[in-house]
Amino acid sequence: MFRDRGHPPVQVVTCFLRRRGRVLILRRSEKVGTFRCRWAGVSGLIERGERPLDTALKEIREETGLRATDVELVREGPALPVPRPNFLVHPFLFEVKRGRVRLDWEHSELRWIRPPELRRFGTVPGLAEALLSVLAGK
């Protein structure tokens, strides 16, 4: 889905969950509308009037089953433009304190990887840049 550059970008969040130095990536299922079978973080559209952090916590709960009390915000990165498609990505890094990840219908597989391994996966656009932005200044 590519958007006309004359329209404002679609605002989305991408959340990286970290546990023991590894980050969670999720393979998008064949049931989703975009980027099927690509690897991504926990992500979703920011609804009108919603704060990016609220969207991030909502998407974490929906896509992994983890609650706000199971994770701790480590860093919010700067919003990153992803021109194709016309998205403005708000990246977040959370540390998982407790709980087990349970996938919803949007994802078919999960992996806990070391950040340098991300380049080996076919990802959604801008994922590597989003991860770097939240890992900077560890």
For the chain, the domain total comes to: 1
Largest CA distance in the chain: 44
Residue 124 domain-assigned (yes or no): yes
Q: Based on the number of CB atoms within 10 Å of its own CB, is 99 exposed (0-12), middle (13-18) or buried (19 or more)?
A: middle
CATH number at residue 68: 3.90.79.10
Residue 34 contacts residue 1 (beta carbons within 8 Å): yes
**Structural domain containing residue 90:** 10-135
| Predicted TM-score of the model (pTM) | 0.91
**Euclidean distance between CA atoms 124 and 136, whole angstroms:** 20
Summarize pLDDT for 89-131 with one digit per residue, the tens: 999 999 999 999 999 999 999 999 999 999 999 999 999 999 9
Residue 11 CA from chain centroid, whole number: 12
| Whether residue 17 has pLDDT greater than 80 | yes
**Euclidean distance between CA atoms 69 and 67, whole angstroms:** 5
